[in-house]
């Protein structure tokens, strides 16, 4: 696609970013845009999605050579709103705002960063809550089950839209890391560097087990109505809330939860005197209160069908499956350089899973660096501000910038300032 | 795409400079305990090697990433399970052997993953160390600036000690260089050198 058609094309142009002066490390106030793709998308399941829309945000400026673009892939509950402040809600800060911005580890002074809401998600992209053109009603249960590979193929058209033939890097944490790996396998010529954080080449039985419990909580909620709850003007809020509570436990380390909550009792509930039990089943401990709060908050804004869809895509991800379990062979198509980061207390996707990928990449002779950060926060550490973690990512992107002649870092802000 | 490489000249310690001379141009090199990546960065510029390093320390890992050296953060004591048999042409262990708990294990692992190994370590047979012990105190020197109670050097050896172990492990020594500070020592190295560098052919892979 040429530059002129990019500007004049029928699809909306990139996000409109209005920098604010308050925080020099922030990309400022951001507006998302919706890209529509009318060419049918063939899916792994054999189904075909006739058309779809993806919600997108961008930060920084795409250079003339179009070689400074970085794609950020999001995890289960996140979105295309990676950095900055949402124009529609000043309290809505991007989920990776500590990582992406002018002078941050992924420096938007030099890189053009794209966030895309995954197909099937519920933050603007086509998903189960969208209208099925065939019926005029929400897709609901009829929305096709998607795989990580389907996401990559859907996202490749966003790259086409911006005229990006090759990303300087594709980067993601957790499920986003799986997408980054999948990008490197599915579209090797389009990924120069692959940054994979707190991720895994496949879910374990335990991981799938947790996902299944979450899905059963949703599906057995009487308000689920077989996935067509939209027609009943209801939402399986209780099931979704339980699903989120389970997720929250797996994102944190045992020590982290002990530190945050311990066995602290919730004050002033149930009428029991201080230090006494209520001898009932309502909230007694702080941890219960926290999980219920998180679950209820989540159930107000997240779509239950999307939760099912994304957890299933997680379950299915296993690039080695078609290579007799040989991960090195599965990764043999990749031509990217790799950076992997794991966190010592992440028991959801533990360091051993990252080492497995490192080993496979080494076997293939791929250039790979691997940092194993000794941090107490479990899986959630990839969203947090450990300076060692951010320094590794910053150092890696600075090398990419050097190779692309994008210039030196003009400022250092945020975690590393 | 490969990462850009700084062309600024790198000054190497004498043992590292000798190691660099021994590494074949264009070969695959694994540097165990690679520190801030100085040797690998130099090898990349001067020997066009495809290198990888192992390092445990956070700050040094960050330094490697910053200079574009491929580094894997890992404790060497856990072995080299990340690597296949004979995955490298040369594996380097510079001034680290003496602080490892599992000395034989790491040497066996080196033999497994590479065709050729290079090891450097402080020579405990240096005559001044002997004098120090005769005078009743453990030696402290520029090469080993630690007191007996805080030294990380738990497996010190002499040149002959190392040569004996190498023989037992099927490592065939092909070259040796010995230094005192930055000066190369030719005569009576067992007594006069403070640092030894060995190059050896690894035992063939056990299939």
Tens of pLDDT, residue by residue, chain A (417 residues): 333 333 333 333 344 455 454 789 999 999 999 999 999 999 999 999 999 999 999 999 999 999 999 999 999 999 999 999 999 999 999 999 999 999 999 999 999 999 999 999 999 999 999 999 999 999 999 999 999 999 999 999 999 999 999 999 999 999 999 999 999 999 999 999 999 999 999 999 999 999 999 999 999 999 999 999 999 999 999 999 999 999 999 999 999 999 999 999 887 666 777 778 889 999 999 999 999 999 999 999 999 999 999 999 999 999 999 999 999 999 999 999 999 999 999 999 999 999 999 999 999 999 999 999 999 999 999 999 999 999 999 999 999 999 999 999 999 999 999
List CB contacts of A55: < 8 A, sequence separation 6 or more: A32, A33, A34, A79, A80, A116, A117, A123, A124, A125
Whole-number Å distance between alpha carbons of A244 and A307: 9
Assembly ipTM? 0.92
A chain contacts of residue B72, beta-carbon cutoff 8 Å: 358, 368-370
Tokens 């190779």, residue located: A403
Task: Give the pLDDT band (50/70/90) at residue B11.
Answer: confident
pLDDT in tens, A320-355: 999 999 999 999 999 999 999 999 999 999 999 999
List CB contacts of A205: < 8 A, sequence separation 6 or more: none
Indicate the pTM of the whole model: 0.93
Residue A415 C-alpha, separation from nearest chain B C-alpha, in angstroms: 15
A12 and A162 Cβ atoms separated by less than 8 Å: no
A chain contacts of residue B70, beta-carbon cutoff 8 Å: 367-369
A chain contacts of residue B83, beta-carbon cutoff 8 Å: 359, 362
Q: B161: which 2 tokens?
A: 């000690």
pLDDT in tens, A81-132: 999 999 999 999 999 999 999 999 999 999 999 999 999 999 999 999 999 9
Whole-number Å distance between alpha carbons of B76 and B78: 5
**Chain B contact residues (CB < 8 Å to A):** 1-4, 50, 52, 58, 61-62, 64-68, 70-74, 81-84, 87
Question: 3-state class of B59 per DSSP?
Answer: helix
Q: Which residues pair with A169 in a beta bridge?
A: A70
Whole-number Å distance between alpha carbons of B140 and B148: 8
Nearest to A202 by CA among A322, A118, A305: A322
Question: What does the mean pLDDT of chain B come to?
Answer: 93
Q: Which of the residues B73, B74, B80 would you substitute to probe the A interface, choosing the one with the greatest number of A C-beta atoms within 10 Å? A: B73
> DSSP label at A231?
G
CA end-to-end distance (rounded Å), chain A: 39
Phi-psi domain of A148 (left: phi exceeds 0; alpha: psi -120 through 50; beta: other): alpha
Whole-number Å distance between alpha carbons of A123 and A116: 10
CB contact under 8 A, A369 and B74: no
């Amino acid at each position: 696609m040429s530059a002129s058609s990019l500007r004049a094309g029928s699809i909306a142009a990139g996000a409109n970013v209005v920098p604010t002066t308050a925080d020099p490390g922030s990309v400022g106030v951001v507006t998302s845009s919706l890209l529509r793709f009318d060419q049918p998308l063939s899916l792994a399941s054999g189904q075909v999605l006739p058309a779809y829309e993806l919600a997108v945000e961008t930060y920084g400026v795409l250079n003339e050579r179009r070689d400074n673009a970085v794609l950020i892939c999001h995890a289960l509950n996140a979105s295309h709103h990676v950095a900055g402040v949402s124009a529609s809600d000043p309290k809505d800060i991007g989920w990776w705002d500590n990582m992406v911005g002018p002078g941050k580890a992924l420096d938007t002074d030099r890189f053009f960063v794209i966030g895309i809401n995954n197909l099937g998600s519920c933050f603007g992209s086509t998903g189960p809550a969208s209208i099925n053109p065939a019926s005029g009603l929400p897709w609901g249960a009829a929305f096709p089950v998607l795989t990580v590979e389907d996401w990559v193929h859907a996202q490749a058209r966003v790259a086409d839209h911006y005229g990006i033939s090759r990303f300087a890097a594709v980067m993601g944490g957790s499920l986003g890391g799986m997408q980054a790996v999948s990008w490197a396998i599915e579209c090797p010529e389009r990924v120069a560097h692959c940054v994979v954080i707190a991720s895994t080449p496949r879910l374990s039985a335990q991981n799938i087990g947790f996902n299944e419990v979450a899905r059963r909580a949703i599906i057995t909620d009487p308000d689920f109505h077989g996935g067509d709850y939209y027609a009943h003007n209801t939402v399986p809020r209780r099931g979704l809330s339980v699903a989120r509570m389970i997720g929250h436990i797996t994102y944190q380390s045992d020590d982290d939860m002990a530190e945050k909550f311990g066995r602290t009792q919730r004050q002033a509930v149930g009428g029991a005197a201080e230090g006494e039990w209520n001898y009932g089943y309502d909230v007694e401990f702080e941890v219960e209160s926290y999980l219920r709060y998180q679950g209820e908050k989540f159930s107000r804004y997240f779509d239950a069908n999307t939760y099912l869809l994304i957890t299933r895509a997680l379950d299915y991800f296993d690039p080695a499956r078609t290579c007799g379990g040989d991960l090195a062979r599965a990764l043999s198509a990749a031509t990217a350089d790799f950076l992997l980061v794991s966190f010592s207390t992440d028991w959801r996707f533990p360091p051993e899973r990252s080492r497995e990928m490192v080993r496979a990449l080494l076997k293939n002779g791929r250039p790979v660096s691997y940092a194993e950060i000794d941090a107490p926060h479990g899986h959630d550490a990839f969203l947090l501000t450990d300076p060692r973690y951010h320094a590794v990512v910053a150092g890696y992107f600075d090398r990419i910038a050097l190779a692309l002649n994008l210039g030196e870092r003009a400022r250092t802000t945020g975690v590393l300032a | 795409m490969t990462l850009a490489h700084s062309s600024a000249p790198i000054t190497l310690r004498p043992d590292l400079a000798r190691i660099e001379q021994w590494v074949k141009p264009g070969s695959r090199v694994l540097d165990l305990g690679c520190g801030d990546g100085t040797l690998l960065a130099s090898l990349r510029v001067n020997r066009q090697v495809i290198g990888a390093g192992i390092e445990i320390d956070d700050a040094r890992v960050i330094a490697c990433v910053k200079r574009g050296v491929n580094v894997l953060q890992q404790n060497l004591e856990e072995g080299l399970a990340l690597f296949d048999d004979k995955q490298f042409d040369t594996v380097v262990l510079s001034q680290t052997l003496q602080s490892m708990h599992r000395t034989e294990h790491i040497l066996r692992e080196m033999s497994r993953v590479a065709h050729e190994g290079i090891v450097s370590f402080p020579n405990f047979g240096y005559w001044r160390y002997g004098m120090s012990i005769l005078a009743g105190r453990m030696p402290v020197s520029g090469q080993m600036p630690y007191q007996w109670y805080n030294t990380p050097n738990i497996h010190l050896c002499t040149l002959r000690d190392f040569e004996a172990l190498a023989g037992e492990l099927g490592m065939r020594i092909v070259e040796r260089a010995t230094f005192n500070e930055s000066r190369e020592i030719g005569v009576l190295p067992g007594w006069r050198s403070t640092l030894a560098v060995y190059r050896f052919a690894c035992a063939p892979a056990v299939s």
